[in-house]
Chain A
Amino acid sequence: MTFDYAPAPESTAVVDIAPSYGLFIGGDFVESLDGSVFDTVNPATEEVLSKVTQAGTADVDRAVRAARAAYEGVWSHLPGRERGKYLFRIARILQERAREFAVLESIDNGKPIKESRDVDIPLAAAHFFYHAGWADKLSYAGHGPAPKPLGVVGQVIPWNFPLLMLAWKIAPALACGNTVVLKPAETTPLTALLFADVCRQADLPAGVVNIITGDGDTGRALVEHPGIDKVAFTGSTEVGKAIARAVAGTPKRVTLELGGKAANIVFDDAPIDQAVEGIVNGIFFNQGHVCCAGSRLLVQESVAEEVLVALRRRLLTLRVGDPLDKNTDVGAINSAAQLSRICEISDSGDAEGAVRWSPPFSQPDKGFWFPPTVFTEVAPAHRIAREEVFGPVLAVLTFRTPDEAIEKANNTPYGLSAGVWTEKGSRILWAADRLRAGVVWANTFNRFDPTSPFGGFKESGWGREGGRHGLEGYLR
């Protein structure tokens, strides 16, 4: 006998989406000078949510000028103590309006309400709270006795954690005394646009935060605008390289948070049930739309079968479906384009000889969906073992010795994150020392905190975000 879950939908009454949005420049929503409009849709229903502006080059220019005027006119003269108080206000407003933001995030992004409610929004508020306290303490941060802001920062963020990435970018920039022009991802602009209202409620001086919407062309115009002093980007390694080329020979500073292909290493003495939870959290959290996702499971040969049996059993209980249902574990794929990318690379796994498995899954009529998927019999040369899928697709490889595990884990141009599962403390420290990754989770995975530096080795990017280290990218 089985008991089905009753639907437990979160109410959307708290959210009010405007039929169309302009651009948030100089403290006001303004009409575009040379842009057009595009739809943002709910990826779980394909319902059009709103019309959003595709900012053109004249719009980008106007936003950069507004940020410069605010920098020179107000923000750079403000004592750190006062800047900090604005950030504290923003943190509190985000906490007060947490439910509104969480529901809107799930509607626009497709992520489960459980995650937007318990992870994205609380962490976004925490980032403002943490950085607020730095604003008047920067000389203690170890980046010189009298660090100065850079000026105007152009920031481009991805669609996987829309408000959280906004917080990661805006909070340290403002704490350090910079002003910003931020471009959210084209498929998930709504919480960034709602953030404009938080700026209003906080009485943030006009132009300190400017939000312009659009696609990659808008992002490129922002990155290449001569009026910005620093570029902060989170997204694909491919675009990161294009940005590095675009700023070559200019004085612009750059930080980049790029792709990953994290190895989650399970040694034979690992607590299997905890490891399986970590594997699930590592790759199926946020539909696998996570740059640091544990997309390669490296499991020691002697326990591989046991781990896989437990993993498949666990995946049978994972609930895929309506993002607004409070019992949903895996929501909708963010866009049709991303779904087709996931399908294409998964098909390459079949073609190259890996074995695909998914739990039974009934696809809703509308929306973009992909079930949690595990590939076994994967060889290190397979595309699913090398390329970032950015979806709920796990590639399983095995190893025999600890040295082999490290070698396979490091055999990638990426170096963002890694996981280690073992009961042996000395082995954890040994493995953590050898893994070429910016974040190593031992007996846990996908943990984030504003006090904890995050960022990659090798082609996973430049610089760190969060913690004392993250301030460096916004100071001179």
Chain B
Amino acid sequence: MSDPVHGSQQHQRLGVRKTYKLYVGGAFPRSESGRSYEVTTPDGHFLANAGLASRKDARDAVTAAHAALPKWSAATAYNRGQVLYRVAEVLEGRRGQFVHTVSASEGIPLDRAESVVDAAIDRWVWYAGWTDKLAQVLGTVNPVAGPYFDFSLPQPSGVVAVVAPQESSLLGLVSVIAPVLVGGGTVVALASERRPLPAVDLAEVLATSDVPGGVVNLLTGRTSEVAPWLASHMDVAGIDLTGAAPGAVADLERAAADNLKRVRRPDPAEDLAAEPGLGRMSAWLETKTVWHPVGT
């Protein structure tokens, strides 16, 4: 983390600060716009300069997510579960780092940050266990009135753009991207605008887990600038507006109508600390029904 946290105790040594970049297609590019913006603690201390993503960055991220989709959606549920659990493992190994980043970003004491990080790790584990159960829980065999074998299965709807929660920089982010991945979707996530650093740290975890490049793409920057491009992009199948400003939701929904994106509206009553339920996974799933005659 930055100097005030670590460096001040080490009088002889100047801390090495980190450069925060975007995460697109498994790589860490700077914004193609060359822009960055200052990220501070809630009480105004400088933390870092984060990448200020542009429209082009958003489009590149969608391209990467679209390219990663066929393989990720075709992976076996067992394989996806392994990969998601691996994220939890790597995250656990970096627990200390995240505790400090979350504490500084959200302006909360270390012990509270610890419980937030623990909840975020546990959430990956919870979702990892869902990959090979969704089809059993959401799928059906339909007793049609005729000689047909007729079954319904969940299928990923495609690339999902996510406007991550603004307040909860890590648990909130994990809570909105993991459920997309479970069902085989790929993600372009726009991190919390004022608290983007845990997202970039999470990108490092994803890059060193077994998550294929492009399956998750993380952008930092101005929500109001980037979200409209994601909402109107024709290769995006769904958009999660959880972190969108209340005044912007209607416009984003209207833009999303151009290709009938699946839209998840913000729910102010949502408790991110509670067990999530199926809703965030099923929001990004289609039901496919297959009929076949039965006979000899």
Contact = CB atoms under 8 A, between A and B. Distances in A.
Interface in B76-126: none
A79 interface: no
Contacts of B224: none
Contacts of A256: 260
Given A237-B260, A453-B152, A461-B260, A443 B292 contact: yes
Interface stretch (A242-250, A295-303, A344-352, A375-383): A242-250
B142 A241 contact: no
Contact of A449 (B144, B155, B254): B144
Secondary structure call for the B interface: mixed
A244 B256 contact: yes
A455 to B, nearest CB: 7
A447 interface: yes
Interface string A457-472: 1110110100111000
Contacts of A453: 140, 142, 152, 287, 289
B148 interface: yes
B292 A444 contact: yes
A461 B259 CA distance: 10
Given A240-B260, A244-B257, A459-B259, A467 B291 contact: no
Q: In the complex, which of the residues B137, B140, B251 has the most CB atoms of chain A within 10 Å of its own CB atom?
A: B140
Contacts of A467: 140, 142, 152, 289
Contacts of A244: 253-254, 256-257, 260
B289 A454 contact: yes
Interface in A422-466: 428, 432, 437-444, 447, 449, 451-455, 457-459, 461-462, 464
A439 B152 CA distance: 9
A258 interface: yes
Contacts of B204: none
Contacts of A428: 292
Interface of A: 126, 142, 144, 237, 240-241, 244-245, 247-251, 256, 258, 413, 415, 428, 432, 437-444, 447, 449, 451-455, 457-459, 461-462, 464, 467-469
Interface of B: 137-138, 140, 142-146, 148, 150, 152, 155, 157, 237, 249-254, 256-260, 262, 265, 277, 286-293
15 contacts: A237-B260, A248-B249, A248-B252, A249-B250, A438-B287, A439-B289, A442-B290, A442-B291, A447-B144, A447-B148, A452-B142, A453-B140, A453-B287, A457-B155, A469-B287
Closest 8 CB pairs of A and B: A249-B250, A248-B253, A244-B257, A449-B144, A248-B254, A452-B142, A442-B292, A451-B142
